[in-house]
Amino acid sequence: MFIVVGLYSLLMLASLVYAQASAAKLTAERCSPCHGTERICDRLGKRTADVWQQTVKRMVSNGAKLTQEEASTVSEYLTIAKPGSKHLCK
């Protein structure tokens, strides 16, 4: 029983880590053509979910290529990402 629970938690954790890594890669890929990611990294941990959503929306109107779904993945990632986040800030 404990083994099953342990394995399950490990899997959940692994998929969370994986989801965050792929969101970070998506952000790095779509958010770096016009300006460096430093501009984004400087602000990690300093904005609420609402403000990030507005920022991403504004970037889409600036010309960033993101579907609505990708835009919410990126906004969610930016809200929880820690300063110096791997994949995005290096």
User: Of the candidates 31, 44, 81, 88, which one interacts with ligand HEC according to CB under 6 A?
Assistant: 31
Residue with smaller CB distance to ligand HEC, 25 or 30 = 30
User: Of the candidates 3, 46, 63, 69, which one interacts with ligand HEC according to CB under 6 A?
Assistant: 63
Whole-angstrom distance, CA of residue 68 vs CA of residue 60: 10
In this structure, are residues 40 and 81 in contact, taking their beta carbons and an 8 Å threshold? no
Chain-centroid distance, C-alpha 10? 22
Stretches 6-14, 17-25, 29-37, 81-89: which one binds ligand HEC (CB under 6 A)? 29-37
Residue with smaller CB distance to ligand HEC, 13 or 19 = 19
Residue whose pair of structure tokens reads 């404990």 in the numeric block: 2
Q: How far is CA 28 from CA 9, 11, 70, in A?
A: 28, 26, 12
Q: Cβ–Cβ contacts within 10 Å for residue 48, how many?
A: 9
Residue with smaller CB distance to ligand HEC, 6 or 29 = 29
Positions that interact with ligand HEC (CB under 6 A): 30-31, 33-35, 39-40, 43, 55-56, 58-59, 62-64, 66, 74
